[in-house]
Amino acid sequence: MERIEQAVILAAGEGQRLRPFTTSKPKVMIPIANKPILRYVIEAVAKNGIRKIKVVAGYRKEQVIDYFGAGDQFDVEIEYLVQKQQLGTAHALKQARGKVSGIFLVLSGDNIIEPDTISKLIQPKQKTTILVNEQKNVSKYGVIEAQDGLVTSIVEKPKEALSHLVNTGIYAFSDEIFDLIKQETDLTSVIRNMISLGHAVQTCGATGTWLDVVYPWDMLQLNDIALAKISPVTGGTLESGVSIKGSVSIGKGTTIRSNSYIVGPAIIGENCEIGPSVCILPSTSIGNNVCISPFTIITNSIVADNVEIGPSSTIQDSIIDKGCQMKGHFVTQSGETEIKVEDEYHQVHIGAIMGENCDIGNNVVTAPGIIVGNRCRIKALKVLEAGIPDESLVV
């Protein structure tokens, strides 16, 4: 089988279960270790020698186009195709009809992968091949049953594990797929139809990282895994008495003030002001233009761009979206809690989940698992014990 030279990346979805973070940005632009998820996919494709990429964008597509442009800085050529209504993966792929020919790769733009993940798929054995991955909990995936490496069935989100092989949403297809999509909206339905018509659908095992982001707390797990692979970089200024242990990346223009203590893996973006006497502990990502005031402790958290954190704050196991401003003594309590997302209940260990551009007064404490919407204002001396919708005022 010929070597694949072109890829279609499906990046049109919203990701409703990741709200409040996807209210104002597509799922593929959520930052993990200070890089949008889609960037991991594009870099993995590029490192496998695939230069011609079609990106199917839709929900808030301007953010995708603005960030990646024509692909020059990633050493690829990107053409954007638009899915006006997010009707499903097959419908998204349909937008690439006439834009690709022969054998091509199809990838989800909302999974973190490494170059090794897809390297075996670049020269597929069959013109229809699915990249599969073993998972213990298969209830949120398409589960694949196979015999002698050929797919016999795909069952979406089964209540009982028929097997532990799951569909990664990464495929090798030939351009014949466009004639087989017909009125189907999801690729799993298309593949089921192909199997019933006698088409051979091959499985290929994923060897490298394949990580799916479904819920907000998945972001912390992925952040931890992504940070484990970073290289130590000191692009900023470190004052006397700063102590750094482990793998820590510090961006250009950032100043770490005296007596601060940073333990990696951790990443701090560009033009940040940290300290003095700030403690940043493992599995923490700090975005660009972030100001962290003295005597603050942050651990296992994601702090996005343009956030200001007041003095003597404690942030743990939390996600703080861009543009938030916290006054002093802000505390996110962390622990086991039950969180409802749509009609599902999840038992998770987490701190706060906070949307963008929130304004938090002095001495505010959040209970574990509290979801604060976007653009909320919370006055001083409040204990938040219930979720708050977008644009709320707590007085």
Q: How confident is the model at residue 186 (pLDDT cuts 50, 70, 90)?
A: confident
CA geometry: angle at 380 spanning 378 and 383, to 5°? 75
Contacts of 236 (CB under 8 A, 6+ apart): 250, 251, 252, 253, 254, 255, 256, 268, 270, 272
The answer to whether residue 103 scores a pLDDT higher than 80 is yes
What's the confidence (pLDDT) of residue 158?
Answer: 67
Pair 141, 16: CB distance under 8 Å: no
Mean pLDDT of 300-307: 98
Q: In 3D, which of 151, 64, 173, 48 has the Cα closest to residue 110?
A: 64
| pLDDT grade for 394, boundaries at 50, 70 and 90 | very high
- Going along the chain from its start, the domains and CATH numbers come out as 6-214 (3.90.550.10), 226-394 (2.160.10.10)
What value does the mean pLDDT take over residues 274-297?
97
- Residue 51, pLDDT > 80, answer yes
Point out the least confidently predicted range of 52-66, 95-109, 196-210: 196-210
In the predicted model, what is the mean pLDDT of the chain?
A: 90
Q: What pLDDT is stored for residue 288 in this prediction?
A: 97
- The answer to which of 61-65, 123-127, 173-177, 335-339 has the lowest mean pLDDT is 123-127
* Mean pLDDT, rounded, for 11-40: 92
Instruction: Give the model's confidence band at 205: pLDDT under 50 very low, under 70 low, under 90 confident, else very high.
Output: confident
Across residues 25-34, what is the average pLDDT?
A: 94
Rounded Cα distance, 79 and 55, in Å: 6
Position 138 scores a pLDDT of: 63
* Contact status, residue 355 vs residue 23, Cβ threshold 8 Å: yes
pLDDT of residue 197: 83
Ranges 157-171, 226-240, 295-309, most confident: 295-309
Strand 210-212 relative to strand 353-354, pairing: unpaired
Question: What pLDDT digit, counting tens, does each position of 120-161 carry?
Answer: 888 777 788 888 887 777 667 678 777 787 877 787 776 776
DSSP at 2: P
Residue 8 predicted with pLDDT over 70: yes
Which has more pLDDT, 210 or 279? 279
As a whole number, mean pLDDT of residues 35-49 equals 93
pLDDT band at 180 (very low <50, low <70, confident <90, very high): confident
Rounded average pLDDT over 212-233? 91
Residue % of the chain over a pLDDT of 70? 98
Q: What percent of the chain has pLDDT over 90?
A: 62
8 Å CB contact between 112 and 218: no
Cα distances (Å, whole numbers) of residue 114 to 47, 89, 146: 9, 22, 25
pLDDT(177) > 70: yes
CA separation for the pair 300, 275 (Å, rounded): 18
Tell me the C-alpha distance between 45 and 7, whole Å: 8
| Residue 293 DSSP class | -
* Dihedral-angle region of residue 216 (phi above 0 means left; psi in -120 to 50 means alpha; beta otherwise): alpha
Q: DSSP class of residue 8?
A: E
